[in-house]
Amino acid sequence: IHVTGDALQRGRDGRWYLNLAGHKNHTKGRRDRWSPIMATSQEEEEWLVAIFQRAGEKKVFHVPKDLILDDFDGKKVPTALKPHKYRAEYAERVYRSVAREISKIRNRKEIIHLRKELVGISLDRKACKIVTKALGHNRPEEFPHSYAYILLKR
């Protein structure tokens, strides 16, 4: 996937999104994506927006390492992001922003009960589908199988 700085757009709701055109950005299956930016604070959002604006029409994940942003959590941070490092955290943020409280879901088919090392964790099936789509997958079980482990860490 070739994420360029110009993919960042503000939505009608005032939030920032990545608008990835399938053919231009070489997404999987050449499908278009519209994924929300899920910052934990105003400072983090401004930092992310600055990274995308600096990249412009260049790839965000391959900006030369000599371009440095200072003072995010007191550290010097390179503008080149490491995409796989952040996928699980992004998935968690999207899930927590859209998930319903499990005890208030009446239809049992809308609850996923995890197994193996994640036994005892229940997830909102509709929220999992939203997260999976935001990550660019078509399989609704992708979040529970590959990313739900991060919910244990918090």
Cα–Cα distance for residue pair 64/145, rounded to 1 Å: 34
How would you class 16 by CB atoms within 10 Å of its CB: exposed for 0-12, middle for 13-18, buried for 19 or more?
middle
**How do residues 29-72 score in pLDDT, each as one tens digit?**
666 777 888 888 899 899 989 988 988 888 776 545 544 555 55
Which one has a higher pLDDT value, 80 or 92?
92
pLDDT single digits (tens) 95-123: 999 999 999 999 999 999 998 888 888 99
Sorted by where each begins, the domain ranges of the chain are 5-81, 84-153
